[in-house]
Amino acid sequence: MSEAEPRVVILGAGHAGGSAAAFLRQYGFAGPIVLVGDEMVAPYQRPPLSKAWLKGEAGEDELMLKDESWYAENGCRLLLGVSGKIIDRAGKTVSLSNGETVAYDFLIIATGARARKLPIPGADLKGVLELRTTVDAEVLKAALGPGRRLAVIGGGYVGLEAAASARKLGSEVVIIEREARCLARVACEPLSSFFQDYHRKHGVEFELAAGVEAFEGEGGHITGVRLADGRVIRCDAALVGVGALPNDEIAREAGLPCENGIVVDLEARTADPAIFAIGDVTWRPLPLYDRPFRLESVPNALEQAKQAASAIAGRPQPNPEVPWFWSDQYDLKLQIAGLPFDADSIVVRGDPDSAKFAIFHLKGDLIQSVEAVNAPPEFMMGKQLIAARRPIARDRLADPTVSMKEVAA
Amino acid sequence: MAKITYVEHDGTEHVVDVKSGMSVMEGAIKNNIPGIDADCGGACACATCHVYVDEAWRDKTGTPSAMEESMLDFAENVEPNSRLSCQIKVSDELDGLTVRMPESQH
């Protein structure tokens, strides 16, 4: 009798956790897998919830990572509506909210992030919404349509995408942002201006540099958002999109080092060699930028799912990737490669008025990141140049008549 | 419904039935076929679902959009029969389709 196959337990059945199970099987891992998720649905893609799904252009089937039958057919026990409670590192077991205790040889923590709440009066009124899960998305969708008015608190990507989708469905939309511009924390001024103008052209109103004091309601349902200056913005629903917090409590309680998320290495391994962490919940190294960071993105979830699955299955590690992101709003496709750490200048290539341009963030003559709007060549080649750490000539980069292939040559 | 053959770079073949209306990419992902990554889930944003369409099927799979062409232009190991599999919709017409995968999607 050969030695028993190792057992894997995955806490969290989102994009990261579901993908880790799938990659383990792709890589030939034959041991039992237990996949534990606190939602009532099998792993699915979250990005469409603010985009194609919200607009009714993609159905629920298209959201699912795998058919629900895949898990049973592939030796993966899927526990839905269940969460991990306590990790016993010495005994290598996890106790679960359903009363069970499961043993592991390798544990993967993929508990993701949760929406940050606004601790203000009225936050518990009906119609004060967030957008993380299919349940949230159903409630949001039901609140949209002609004659309805949506207030979006927070002009980040989720807020802007939801605003664009809400306009498509006929809702009135007002975006309320604490900073002086939308995307203030994640994008540069020219990109913020471009998106604000584009949304205004599509009928979205903005309240910028506006603090939110309270949600006002009647009969338990929201009727408006009260701003710091005393004005009340009338609405039928308010979507709060003010960032996310890592669900790293279970790791902290188990004594695993955490910063803004669970600290992992380039194989997605925590300080405990038997425990990995992947996806939004991790504080991970970024070798290209020589620092750790917490990324909230599907490409990051997939990259780390591959890292953990490769380590467990005894395969060589995948090649490191340049972090990247995308956003769809109206007819705009925004693609971002890299992060603008340490950048000392920007180069705008193309004309924002044409809705086809790219903004490069440079550190000296190295590209740190690129934000490309309807500009795939700039995104694709920019991503390759970031990975290669290859210096570029700024004047050629700024000249759209010089092709990206020539810029890179 | 269409029977589609996915051939990994090392020659491993996977033959699966894919429902009409799904994309060729979704057929691979739902069946956990290695070699198609599809990081963006079909938004034509990443070029990690690159495949080569067998010559006999190039007409039936249609022509790529400007966005797809532009993404492919900068992907690695691109050939005249390269496509992004998230942009090929499956129909009964594609019963028997064979697609091959590049060495790497990244």
One-letter amino acid for residue A177 of the chain: E
Q: Which contiguous run of DSSP H or E holds residue B72? A: helix B66-73
Residue B106 domain flag: no
pLDDT at residue A2 greater than cutoff 60: no
Flag if B43 and A326 touch (Cβ within 8 Å): yes
Query: For chain A, where do the domains classified as CATH 3.30.390.30 start and end?
Result: 331-408
State how beta strands A332-338 and A324-329 pair: antiparallel
Q: Considering the domain boundaries, does residue B32 fall inside one?
A: yes
Cβ neighbours of A25 in B, within 8 Å = 32
Chain A residue closest in CA terms to B105: A319
pLDDT tens digits, one per residue of A348-393: 999 999 999 999 999 999 999 999 999 999 999 999 999 999 999 9
Pairwise CB contact (< 8 Å): A298 & B71: no
pLDDT of the residue at A229: 96
Q: CB pairs below 8 Å between A and B: how many?
A: 63
Q: Distance between CA atoms of A25 and A76, rounded to whole angstroms?
A: 9
Are A70 and B29 inside 8 Å of each other by CB? no
Does domain A128-242 correspond to CATH entry 3.40.50.2000?
no
Find where tokens 């967030």 sit.
A130
Mutate to test the interface with B, among A57, A335, A373, A403 (most CBs of B within 10 A): A335
Phi, psi of A35 (to 5 degrees): -115, 115
Q: What is the pTM of this model?
A: 0.96
Question: pLDDT at position B10, please?
Answer: 94
Beta strands at A366-373 and A332-338: parallel, antiparallel or unpaired: antiparallel
Answer whether A380 sits within 8 Å of B75, measured CB to CB: yes
| B76 confidence band (pLDDT: 50, 70, 90) | confident
Class of domain A331-408: alpha beta
Cβ pair A181, A197 in contact under 8 A: no
Q: pLDDT: is B37 or A345 the higher one?
A: A345
CATH code for residues A8-114+245-313: 3.50.50.60
pLDDT, position A3: 61
User: Rounded to an integer, what distance in angstroms lies between the CA atom of residue A12 and that of residue A38?
Assistant: 7
Average pLDDT over residues A322-327: 95
For residues A31-60, average pLDDT: 94
Which chain A residues have any C-beta within 8 angstroms of a chain B C-beta? Answer: 22, 25-26, 45, 47-48, 51-52, 62, 64-67, 70, 74, 298-299, 302, 318-319, 321, 324, 326, 328, 333, 335, 376-377, 380-381, 384, 404-405
pLDDT at A94: 98
Question: Is residue B18 in a domain?
Answer: yes
Measured CB to CB, residues of chain B less than 8 Å from chain A are: 22, 26, 29-30, 32, 34, 37, 39-47, 67, 70-71, 73-75, 104, 106
Cross-chain residue pair B74–A65, CB shorter than 8 Å: no
Q: How many domains does chain B have?
A: 1
- Cα B14 off chain centre by: 13
CATH number (domain holding residue B20): 3.10.20.30
Domain-embedded: residue B105: no
Chain B positions touching A302 (Cβ under 8 A) are 37, 39
CA–CA separation, A373 and A359 (whole Å): 9
Residue B44 resides in a domain: yes
Percentage of chain A modeled with pLDDT above 90: 94
Q: Which domain holds residue B56?
A: 2-100
Contact between A210 and A174 (Cβ < 8 Å) = no
Residue B19 domain-assigned (yes or no)? yes
CB contact under 8 A, A384 and B43: no
Best residue in A298, A384, A407 for a mutation probing chain B (most B CBs within 10 Å): A298
